[in-house]
Chains A and B, each alone.
Chain A
């Protein structure tokens, strides 16, 4: 990737920004001889953001799967001690429990921002909910 570097003293950035739009090449804006900002075509910026989000999601989901597996490992014991309670699993351990998953989430999630936590009801089967609406809407 080639870059165009302009100095703070450059008279206006319009021509350089037009070049970014035309060529797709990024533009580096310097101050005191050091790079301060970069101007990218929006599509390129958007692709970078999406790539970062995908990497974050992949990392999170791997951790989430570990917490889910930990719940399954702990489940036989939890069925004896916390049947009917929701538990929050983090770091492979039960970090809190409550009769309500909502109250548990309110209490636990702020302690682990952007970290994997698995909240589940301790019983033999998953809790079941119903959705009676069709998935797709028919519009006028």
Chain B
């Protein structure tokens, strides 16, 4: 079982994943924080250029502070713990890592063992 990332305060479940632009075939490895508070998954803006990813739509986002902004949407494939999810809808922010929102998390069986700072994430 993967360990929580203890660099986060408090420690957080963060998984390594592969993001692929199916149009160009380019892939990068990123870290993704499991975030049940997000209803959409978030890609670091800095990943757009290496992935050669272009927008395919737009959506409204309500942030943690209640502010509403319009963001472009992207579609990319994610591979998490050997599970491949095709054409996942993503928005971008200036974060340094991905946020895996409920749209992605709901595809998995997830066991968070906060006491032991480990977690399990697999196909149900």
A129 adjacent to B62 (CB under 8 Å)? yes
Which of B9, B62, B87, B96 has a CB less than 8 Å from the CB of A128?
Answer: B62
Known contacts A57-B54, A126-B60, A131-B93; A140/B35 CB under 8 A: no
CB distance from B100 to the nearest CB of A (A): 11
Which of A68, A102, A132 has a CB less than 8 Å from the CB of B89?
Answer: A102
- Closest Cβ neighbor of B37 among chain A residues: A132
Chain B residues with Cβ under 8 A from A134's Cβ? 64
A61 vs B72: C-alpha distance when bound (angstroms) = 11
A131 adjacent to B99 (CB under 8 Å)? yes
Tell me, yes or no, whether B109 is within 8 Å of chain A by CB: no
Interface residues on A, range: 35 or more
Which of B8, B35, B55 has a CB less than 8 Å from the CB of A139?
Answer: B8
Interface residues on B, range: 35 or more
Chain A residues with Cβ under 8 A from B60's Cβ? 125-129
A109 vs B77: C-alpha distance when bound (angstroms) = 12
- Taking CB atoms and an 8 Å cut-off, the chain B residues in 51-99 that contact chain A are 52, 54-64, 68, 70, 73, 75, 86-89, 91, 93-97, 99
Chain A residues with Cβ under 8 A from B97's Cβ? 137
B59 adjacent to A131 (CB under 8 Å)? no
> Given known contacts A102-B88, A131-B101, what 9 new A-B pairs fall within 8 Å (CB)?
A102-B89, A109-B56, A131-B40, A131-B42, A131-B62, A131-B63, A133-B33, A135-B93, A137-B95
A binding-site residues for B, Cβ under 8 Å: 53, 57, 60-61, 64, 68, 101-102, 105-106, 109-110, 113-114, 116-120, 125-140
**28 interchain pairs (CB within 8 A)?**
A57-B54, A61-B54, A101-B89, A105-B56, A106-B86, A109-B56, A119-B56, A119-B73, A127-B60, A129-B60, A129-B61, A130-B61, A131-B40, A131-B63, A131-B64, A131-B93, A131-B99, A132-B38, A132-B64, A133-B37, A133-B42, A133-B99, A135-B94, A137-B8, A137-B95, A139-B7, A139-B9, A140-B9
